[in-house]
Amino acid sequence: MKRDVFYEYVANDFNNWIIEEKIKKPIILLLDGHKPHMTLALSEFCEKNQIILHALPPNTIHILQPADVSVFRPLKQGWKNTIQKWQSKPENINSSVNKTNFCRLFDETLRTCKMTTAIKNAFIRCELFPLNSNNRDFTKCVKNFQERHQIKNNEPENESTVRDLRSTEKVIKKN
């Protein structure tokens, strides 16, 4: 996603949704650590609107991103099932998904996949809720870092990953 698109989403869609749903601020918006999302304009908008942006630490994506851990797979399968069911109807034989029918079909997918349960379970599996760093397995982060950067076993472990995770925890607990 490009910077300008992400800014427009946060400013016009996400923030408006927070207001419409009467969600108490401040809130934390966890990001996957991709720097292209972050801009000065976005940071200023979020500060003004009590949205705390926090990028998850590098080398922790596989254990700290709830969507990757427990949401995308059932959602993809649910979408596939919805489309197959929709295309099997005689009136849709030669039809394809387009702007007109996408939202209705995607809404059907979300309702049949029980996404609320999947999302809650994802935060539990990622150990983001309830938050407790004593139960978190930091060795997964260090191992991933070592594999990605080809660090030999006799070199010291990367302590910055652990510090990054503890920093994330402090931001969440503070708010």
pLDDT digits (tens, 9 = 90+) for 67-90: 777 888 889 999 999 999 999 999
42 and 124 assigned to the same domain: no
Instruction: Show the tokens assigned to 161.
Output: 């990953």
| Choice among 19-23, 30-34, 101-105, 166-170 with the minimum mean pLDDT | 166-170
The total of structural domains in the chain comes to: 2
Domain coverage including residue 80: 61-174
What is the per-residue pLDDT for 77?
93
What is the per-residue pLDDT for 156?
47
Confidence check: pLDDT of 105 > 70: yes
Most confident of 29-38, 59-68, 105-114: 105-114
On whether the pTM is more than 0.75, the answer is no
51 and 78 assigned to the same domain: no
What is the per-residue pLDDT for 115?
81
132 and 79 assigned to the same domain: yes
76 and 134 assigned to the same domain: yes
CA 38 to chain centre: 15
What is the per-residue pLDDT for 154?
45
